[in-house]
């Protein structure tokens, strides 16, 4: 029988869908906090075919709705086509990332199933569950019903990043998608009217895993980092994706509605970036804030290389001067952090603050044991640790109703107690996260560890 640590304990799936109101609250939920906290992650419907990778599980959304000091809970699977086919069959039909696909006879003509399990994006009054290998799925609030995949009027013919960027000023959603075949990347802009009205190819010398990117007011930044796909590795029976420390990290800066001829490439020493906080412009310079890893082996090509992931990401600032061509990088902190977040209203504009998941050191699994809040202007940070045997995940900024300042609101996220088996949603004052929760909302069931989160105002 195939086993995986990611199918056990609170990493493992739950199999029922609940609707529970009037949750127990310790402390007091602020009256000016009104909206829905959502967290998505992998939740395998059936036992896997072969080895299981944490990225494989079917997407499930957990939601806590907050209003007038009261809270309710709901969870739903994202009902993708693959999910429905497997439910009808009563078993798994597709292999995951740790096993080769059924190339000769792919189930229902699909090499992989779109699991829609990675992140959540809000654009033009719609909510999307994303997965970087295919189109996003629209999810309808408040009931979390799956509307279906959105190809934006038939124009989307490529994968769609798990982390599109939405400009709150222009209403645009900027995205890219990557593949193993030429041109390797397509990049696009979707207007506030939901029309995909800018869509271009970006050729590269070698395909790479590009999980995130960044935008500023006028530019987009592509991360061509040395975690490369090479078919010759697959022909030798190896995992085709591997980190190449001798290749530089390349950062491609292009006008938001530019094309391949307008990309300017900057090079820095090899690294990997899973997630960025933000990017912005200062005169002729473009500044990028991100969690930088020395390298990665997230797909498990080499047991020796996997330690690079567990050395963890660190807060770094990258600066690219468009006049001089100079590129610089500097480490800001030694804490082990990732799942970087800001006040989403400032995407592409200068931000002062950001939060990140704080990862425990010396654990076999990637446990998040707290949250770190950064003041990038003063180069300061503070953190809240969840406590002994308590772990969580990504926490997001939720502005107070009527808030206009960047730090005027709360930091919200799930925490699970490994000792008692109890899960809860905690609410921190964004200006004083080190003081601990102002409210703790007890969940009616355990909430498995997952990926990314979102806050949708009422």
Binding residue positions for Fe cation: 163, 211, 275, 452
Q: Degrees (nearest 5) of the Cα angle 240, 242, 245? A: 150
CA–CA separation, 220 vs 281, rounded Å? 11
Is the separation of the CB atoms in 426 and 412 below 8 Å?
A: yes
SS (H, E, C) the chain: CCCCHHHCHHHCCCCCCCEECCCCEEECCCCCCCEEEEEEEECCCCCCCCCCCHHHCCEEEEEEEEECCEEEEEEEECCCHHHHHHHHHCCCCCCCCCCCCCCCCCHHHCCCCCCCCCEEEEECCEEEEECCCCCCEEEECCCCEEEEECCCCCCCCCCCCCCCEECCCCCCEEEEEECCCCCCEEEEEECCCCCEEEEEEECCCCCECCCCCEECCCEEEEEECCEEECHHHHHCCCCCEEECCCCCEEEEEEECCCCHHHCEEEEECCCEEEEEEEEEEECCEEEEEEEEECCCCCCCCCCCCCHHHHHCCEEEEEEEECCCCCEEEEECCCCCEEEEECCHHHCCCCCCEEEEEEECCCCCCCCEEEEEEEECCCCEEEEEECCCCEEECCCEEEECCCCCCCCCEEEEEEEEECCCCCEEEEEEECCCHHHCCCEEEECCCCCCCCCCEEEEEC
CA–CA separation, 298 vs 303, rounded Å? 10
Is the separation of the CB atoms in 40 and 451 below 8 Å?
A: yes
Preceding peptide of 73 cis, ω within 30°: no
Residues annotated in a binding site? 163, 211, 275, 452
């Amino acid at each position: 029988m195939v086993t995986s640590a990611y199918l056990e304990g609170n990493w493992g799936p739950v199999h029922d869908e609940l609707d529970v109101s009037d949750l127990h609250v310790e402390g007091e939920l602020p009256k000016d906090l009104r909206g829905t906290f959502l967290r998505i992650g992998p939740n395998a419907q059936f036992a896997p075919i072969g080895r299981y990778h944490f990225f494989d599980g079917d997407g499930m959304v957990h939601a806590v709705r907050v209003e007038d000091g009261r809270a309710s809970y709901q969870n739903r699977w994202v009902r993708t086509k693959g999910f429905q086919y497997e439910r009808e069959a009563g078993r798994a039909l597709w292999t995951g990332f740790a096993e080769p696909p059924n190339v000769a006879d792919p189930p229902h003509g699909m090499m992989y199933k779109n699991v829609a399990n990675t992140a959540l994006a809000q654009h033009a009054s719609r909510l999307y569950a994303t997965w970087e290998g295919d189109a996003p799925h629209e999810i309808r609030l408040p009931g979390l019903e799956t509307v279906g995949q959105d190809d934006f009027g038939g124009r989307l013919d490529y994968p769609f990043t798990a982390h599109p960027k939405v400009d709150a000023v222009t209403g645009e959603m900027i995205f890219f998608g990557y593949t193993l075949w030429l041109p390797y990347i397509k990049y696009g802009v979707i207007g506030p009217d939901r029309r995909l009205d800018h869509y271009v190819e970006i050729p590269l010398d070698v395909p790479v895993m590009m999980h995130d990117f960044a935008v500023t007011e006028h530019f987009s930044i592509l991360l061509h980092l040395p975690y490369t796909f090479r078919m010759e590795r697959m022909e030798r029976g190896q995992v085709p994706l591997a980190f190449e420390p001798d290749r530089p990290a390349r950062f491609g800066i292009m006008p938001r509605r530019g094309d391949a001829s307008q990309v300017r490439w900057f090079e820095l020493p090899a690294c990997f970036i899973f997630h960025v906080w933000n990017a912005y412009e200062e005169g002729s310079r473009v500044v990028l804030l991100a969690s930088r890893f020395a390298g990665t082996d997230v797909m498990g090509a080499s047991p020796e290389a996997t330690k690079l992931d567990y050395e963890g990401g660190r807060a770094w600032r990258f600066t690219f001067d468009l006049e001089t061509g100079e590129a610089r990088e500097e480490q800001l902190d030694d804490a082990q952090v990732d799942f970087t977040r800001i006040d989403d209203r400032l995407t592409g504009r200068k931000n002062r603050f950001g939060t990140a998941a704080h990862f425990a050191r010396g654990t076999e699994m990637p446990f998040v044991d707290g949250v770190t809040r950064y003041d990038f202007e003063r180069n300061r940070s503070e953190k809240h640790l969840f406590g002994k045997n308590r772990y969580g995940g990504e926490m997001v900024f939720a502005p107070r109703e009527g808030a206009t300042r960047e730090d005027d609101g709360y930091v919200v996220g799930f925490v699970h107690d490994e000792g008692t088996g109890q899960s809860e949603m905690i609410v921190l004052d964004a200006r004083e996260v080190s003081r601990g929760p102002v409210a703790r909302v007890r969940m009616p069931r355990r909430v498995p560890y997952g990926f990314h989160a979102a806050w949708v105002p009422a």
